[in-house]
Amino acid sequence: MKTAASGWFYRFWSYKTQETVQSLGEQQRQIGPLIVMDSLSLGFTAINEEKPSNANAKTSNTITVVIGVLGTIGIWWFVRRSMRKPGMRK
């Protein structure tokens, strides 16, 4: 069953399971994360997390495009300005 866990990773933990002992031998151990749990939910739902809305994603994408275009225009303006100075054209 799938679960959604909210907590903090503490460290990796190794332990013996019946399946690993039977298939791989007595020396083998299974490794998994040891988590300090805050809350646990059974099923597919996330725990106490708000999913970002499409409006936030669209705003972020728009801002990224605007910054990229302004950066490109700024670089073009700086290069054109420096090329117009006397002595720079050779």
Do 31 and 72 form a contact (C-beta atoms < 8 A)? no
pLDDT in 10s for each residue of the chain, 90 residues: 677 778 888 888 887 888 877 888 777 887 888 888 888 777 755 555 555 566 667 788 889 999 999 999 999 998 888 887 666 555
Number of domains in the chain: 2
Do 48 and 6 form a contact (C-beta atoms < 8 A)? yes
Question: Which pLDDT does position 59 carry in this prediction?
Answer: 81
Tokens representing 25 are: 């031998």
Range of the domain at 88: 53-90
Do 21 and 60 form a contact (C-beta atoms < 8 A)? no
Q: Are residues 36 and 65 in the same domain?
A: no
Question: Which pLDDT does position 75 carry in this prediction?
Answer: 92
Q: Are residues 44 and 3 in the same domain?
A: yes
Reduce the DSSP state of residue 56 to 3 states and report it: helix
Q: pTM for the whole thing?
A: 0.35
Reduce the DSSP state of residue 21 to 3 states and report it: helix
Q: State the residue for tokens 């002595």.
A: 87
